[in-house]
């Protein structure tokens, strides 16, 4: 069982421990998500390249910001961020990004799916952390979902209609 550092944070330690576990799970997935979006950014080709390449760069920066916010919230609760690559590899819940993609539509589809999967888990985290009495962590996940929902819309707007 993970222990928390001594802190003046007034949430009960039991609540903080549960939230830290949820935060670290999502930290691993956010780091994976960032890497997946960078994979798409580096490899996208075809019509619409410049716009999608630049969009993926912005999305990767946004996701990196979520990683920081998640890690910092865990620290504020007296926890330790667990974001090393071995931990990320072992704990991420995202499907591995398909290698070998090049065309815009394939990358748009894969990035939108990864973003949506992360948001889906974050929605559950909202309910879980709110239910255990950590409304601040629930609010953080709400903010993340709000941003990702908009980002999915932006990414999907580049999907070629067939």
Find the domain containing 144 and state its range: 13-156
How sure is the predictor about 159, in pLDDT bands with cuts at 50, 70 and 90? confident
More confident residue, 130 or 2: 130
pTM: predicted TM-score of the whole model, two decimal places: 0.94
Mean pLDDT for all residues in the chain: 94
Q: What is the pLDDT of residues 10-40, one digit of tens each?
A: 899 999 999 999 999 999 999 999 999 999 9
d(CA 16, CA 7): 11
Residue 43 lies in a domain: yes
Judge whether 56 and 40 are in contact, CB under 8 Å: yes
Residue 1 lies in a domain: no
Residue 61 lies in a domain: yes
Residue 105 lies in a domain: yes
47 is written with which tokens? 């019509």
Residue 135 lies in a domain: yes
CATH at 76: 1.20.1260.10
pLDDT, mean of residues 104-118: 97
Residue 137 lies in a domain: yes
Q: What is the pLDDT of residues 45-88, one digit of tens each?
A: 988 899 999 999 999 999 999 999 999 999 999 999 999 999 99
Residue 161 lies in a domain: no
Q: Domain count for the chain, please give it.
A: 1
Radius of gyration of the chain (CA): 17
Q: What is the pLDDT of residue 2?
A: 59
């Amino acid at each position: 069982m993970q222990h928390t550092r001594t802190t003046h944070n007034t949430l009960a330690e039991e609540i903080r421990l549960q939230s830290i576990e949820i935060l670290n799970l999502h930290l691993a997935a956010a780091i994976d998500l960032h890497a997946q979006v960078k994979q798409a950014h580096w490899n996208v080709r075809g019509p619409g390249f410049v716009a999608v390449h630049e969009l993926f760069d912005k999305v990767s920066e946004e996701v990196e910001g979520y990683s920081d916010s998640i890690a910092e919230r865990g620290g504020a609760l007296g926890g330790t961020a667990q974001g090393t690559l071995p931990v990320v590899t072992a704990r991420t819940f995202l499907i591995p990004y398909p290698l070998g993609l090049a065309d815009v539509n394939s990358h748009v589809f894969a990035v939108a799916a990864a973003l949506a999967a992360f948001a889906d888990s974050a929605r559950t985290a909202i309910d879980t952390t709110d239910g255990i009495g950590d409304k601040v962590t629930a609010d953080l996940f709400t903010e993340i979902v709000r941003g990702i929902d908009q980002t999915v819309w932006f990414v999907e707007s580049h999907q070629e209609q067939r």
